[in-house]
Structures are given as C-alpha cells and as structure tokens.
Chains A and B, each alone.
Chain A
Amino acid sequence: MSNDRRTRSALPVPALVLAIIAVSFFALPLIGLLWRAPWSRAADYISDDASLTALKLSLICSLWATALSVLFGVPLAWLLARVQFPGRGAVRALCTLSMVLPPVVGGVALFFALGRRGIVGQYLDRWFDLRLPFTTAGVVLAQTFVAMPFLVVTVEAALRQLDGRLEDASRTLGASPWYTFRRVTLPAIRPALIAGAVLSWARALGEFGATITFAGNFPGTTQTMPIAVYLSLETNPEKAIVLALVLIAVSFAVLIGLRDRWLGGGGERGTSRVTS
C-alpha cells in the first residue's frame, strides 16, 4: 500500500497524464465492443458449433506456432546475439522481416516458397506428396512465420544483456556448452523467454492475413477465430463482436494468468525497486 503511494507521487504529472491517455486509447475500443455487444444473444453465438470449432482450431494452431517459435527462435536468437559472422545485421533484418511485411504479402511469399509451385514446395509435393496450403499445418506455418520474430527479438535482447562471465565460469569449471546453455543461460533469460513466447502466442492467435492467404478458409481445417470474426463482420456484425470478445477474453485470461504465475508479479517488484 505505502509502496503504491510513494510510486504515485514520484511519477511526474505530465507522464501520468500521457499514460492515462494511453490507457484510454486501448480501453475505449474494448469498451466500444462491450457497449455494442448483443448480450442477450451472446450465449447462442458462442455455443454455435462453428464458433467452438474455430476457437479450438485457433488455440491448437497458436500453441503449435508458439512451440515452433521457441524451438527454432531461441537458437536463432543465440546465433544473432553471440556469434560474430559477416552479414549478421542483414540476417537479423531478414529474420524479423515478417514483423513489418503486410501479412497478406507474407502469405503470398509463403506460396512462392512452400506452395505447390514454390521453390521448395514443388519438391515437397513431387517427392513426399506433401502439400501445405489449405491444411492445418499451413495455418501453423503462417502463424509461426509472423510470430517467431517477436520471440527472437525479445530473447536476443536478453542474451545481449546477460553477463557473459557467468557462462565463462561455467565452462571453465568443466561444463559442456550444452550443459552451460541449459543450466546457466536458459534460467538467466527465463523471464525474457516467457515474455517472448507470450508475445509470439498472442501474435499467432490474432493472425489473419497470412493465414487466410496461405492456408485459406475452411471450417474445421483452416478457419481460425480471427477469420471467423472477419467473415461474420460482413453478414452478422453482432456475431462478429461476440466472437471477437471471446478471443479477447481468452487472451486476457492467459496473459494475466501467465504474468502472475511465471513472472511472479514482476511489475510490482519493478516499482518497489524504483522507489527504494
């Protein structure tokens, strides 16, 4: 309590005003959705089979995308943070390209790479009879493409700030590089890793453009929640609002839950450090 009060008085008034404007900027659209939501019919829209199918698919695909982002993104971040090689800046820019690329363009680019006529995709098709467009795997791929950079950027920053002497000490004590990575590096960057994974997950859950372009839209196979919301918007805006709120509620629950459980209320610890 006393902590809170001290924090408040310490914050300069102009910053506080700007922060409140920022909060309203994010809160108002949500309030708008809540205000327009057809509450009496909400239950029907949510319990609709198509909505539940889309929600389930969204959760499964976004979790897969997050898992793949962690699996490949952490080594990539490590490579970018620790290994000196020519053209590292260019590689970093390349691997975060999908953050700035319009997602629809990303989807088309994935066609050219992994589609039936793509650079690699034509061989997947010919040799393994493997086709990614119009499949659930295609959704996961499109989501990973746009989501992974969020993890890479976060983890790379943490690796750079990490005191390299800890790892040096571990290695001079005879630990193998893998052991050091697992027992020294990973625990040290855990908060960043979790934050990056959550960011990636959130981005994957909301992904729309690359998914609909590369994987298409078919209920049960590739129709995720954002696509269901977008399609309803044209014909049944009421339903679209309810579905959007469901998506928001799920993200909120996960984000708040994760913060308390894994980051141990990191925010509060931060403020007390400022005041002491």
Chain B
Amino acid sequence: MRRCRLTLTGMALAVPSMLGTACADDANTDKAVLAVFAASSLTDAFVEIGEAFAVQHPDVRIVFNFAGSGELVTQITQGAPADVFASADDSNMSRLIDAAEIAGDPRVIARNTFQIIVEPGNPLGIANLADLADPELLVVLCADTVPCGQGARTVLSNAGVVVTPKSLEDKVKGVVTKVTTGEADAGIVFVTDVIAAGDDATGVEIPADVNALSNYPIVETKAASNAEAAQAFIEFVASDEGQAILASYGFLAP
C-alpha cells in the first residue's frame, strides 16, 4: 500500500500506464514491487528478461519504465521511485553518479555497435560509410545530445567521411521511423535497432575498425526501496540466462 502511494507520485514524472498498473494488482498480492528504469533500446530484451526473472523470483513483481537514458536520469534526480537504472551509455550514468543517486558501482551488462540502416533490401545499394557522403542521398542522424548521435559522429570521423544530414533526430527511433517510412534513404543507428525494425529495414555492416562501442551500465539506485530484489535483478541480467536473452536481441557481451 505504501508502495502504491509512492508509485502514484512517480506517475507525474514516469510513464503513467506502466507504473499505474502496479497499484491495481497490489491490492490482492503481497509481492514486493521492483521498479526498473531502463533505456528504451533495452525494451524488448528487458521485458523478456523480466519474464524469466519472475519465474525464479515469484515474490517480486517488476514494473518497467522505458525512456531515453537522459530523461530517466532527470526523472530519478527529481524523485521518481526507481530501484534499478540501466543506461544506454556511460555519460548518462555519470550524471546519476554526479547527482549521488546510486548505491554501489555501475556494472556493464551489454554493449552495442552501429550499423547503417537502409530501406528493406537496400534498393540504393549502399555498401559502406563512404556512400553516405553522396549529396543526392537523404541521410538522417541522431543529434549529438543522444548516445546514437555521439556514436554516429565517432563512426564517421573514424572513417573520415563527411556527411550532410537532412535532420538530427532527438532519439534513435526517429532515425528508424524516417527510414522505415521511406522519407530518408539511410541513417546510422544501433545494431539492435536494425534488428528490432525486422522486415521494415535492412542493416549494412560497419567494419569493426571504424565502428564505435556503446556501454550499457546498470546500477541500484540510492533510493531503492527494495535493495535485495534490485541486486537479484542485476545479478540475473549479468547471469548466463540474462546474457543469452540480451544476445538474442543483438547486444554484445560486455
């Protein structure tokens, strides 16, 4: 019941629908609630991990809040009730560390690399990063303010390619949408985003020597109301079972 009230205050800051359901069920179960705030690129993988975790820990009920890493940090520092935070890059984790909102040390649970995302079947025959410099091509990238933007910038400078993007998207899904709807010819996104797009997009490999790596650190928050469950969840994500699920969505091992 106490938890329910906490959840309600959090609703103003966090995704309402996801946290909202926590209260409805609390009335007839005594399960401890574990609030996991995770980067949106982890959505599919974490939902599956959550289901597997629930089998081993029937006494814990996970409530996820998926959003951009930067947004989640803002929510947590403003008092949203998070027990675990998983970021899509180190710099957003640093922001939470600087705000002194974490308990223990962050642990890297996965890595992600980049691919060129193009329309299904690659009709324009884009083969490498140098092709993106073609001024006729409609290229969209992420803005520097988000992890995928910094990654794209690193990748392009490693390859010595200068691209004039038509748009700098505020989130990686913005790039994906523009390519899957056919508005843009190509973009640079995480490998996992290409996989998540399924049949709506095709990925073009970026060679490892110019590619960038993004870390996904996870940590228990200082304000965690359920430290034990938080630790158990982090352990589970790092376990072979958790790692296998992450790998199936295209994440690389840490």
Contacts of A222 in B (CB 8 A): 167
* A 200-231 to B, binary, CB cutoff 8 A, 1 in contact else 0: 00000000000011011110001000010011
Closest CB-CB distance, A220 to chain B, in whole Å? 12
Among B145, B165, B181, the residue within 8 A (CB) of A111 is B181
B58 to chain A, nearest CB (A): 37
In contact, A218 and B168 (Cβ under 8 angstroms): yes
Check A48 for interface membership: any CB of B closer than 8 A.
Answer: no
Q: Does B120 contact A (CB under 8 A)?
A: no
Assess the A213–B174 pair: CB atoms within 8 A: yes
Identify the closest chain B residue to A227 (Cβ). Answer: B170
Which residues of the partner chain A approach B170 to less than 8 Å between Cβ atoms? Answer: 212, 217, 227, 230-231
A contact residues around B13 at 8 Å (CB): none
B69: nearest chain-A partner, CB-CB:
A234
Least Cβ distance of B72 to chain A in Å? Answer: 11
| Chain B proximity of A237: nearest CB distance (Å) | 8
Which of the listed residues A116, A216, A230 has the most CB atoms from chain B within 10 Å of its own CB? A216
The CA-CA distance from A112 to B182 in the complex, in Å, is 10
Interface residues as binary, A222-246 with B (CB distance below 8 Å gives 1, 0 otherwise): 1000010011111101000000000
Q: Which of B172-193 contact A (CB under 8 A)?
A: 174, 177-178, 181-183
Tell me, yes or no, whether A36 is within 8 Å of chain B by CB.
no
Give the number of chain A interface residues (Cβ < 8 Å). Answer: 23
A-facing residues in B55-83 (Cβ within 8 Å) = 68, 70-71, 74
List B189-236 residues whose CB lies under 8 Å from chain A: none
- Contact at B168–A217, with CB atoms within 8 Å? yes
Chain B neighbourhood of A116, CB < 8 A = 182-183
Contact of B167 with A117 in the complex, beta carbons under 8 Å: no
Residues of A within 8 A of B70 (CB): 233-235
Interface size on B, as a range, is 20 to 34
Assembly CA distance A232 to B168 (angstroms): 13
Give the distance in Å from the alpha carbon of A233 to the alpha carbon of B170 in the complex: 11
Cα A112 to Cα B165 in complex, Å, equals 22
Looking at the assembled complex, report how far the CB atom of B45 sits from the nearest CB atom of chain A, in whole angstroms: 23
CB < 8 Å neighbour of A216 from B71, B145, B166, B181 = B166
Whole-angstrom distance between the Cβ of A64 and the nearest chain B Cβ: 20
Contact with A along B65-109 (1 / 0, CB 8 A): 000101100100000000000000000000000000000000000
- Structural contact, B168 and A212, CB atoms closer than 8 A: no
Q: Which residues of B contact A217 (CB under 8 A)?
A: 143, 167-170
Whether B132 sits at the interface, judged by CB under 8 Å, is no
12 more CB-based (< 8 A) A-B contacts, given A108-B177, A212-B170, A216-B140: A108-B181, A112-B181, A117-B183, A134-B138, A134-B140, A213-B174, A215-B167, A216-B174, A217-B169, A218-B167, A222-B167, A231-B143
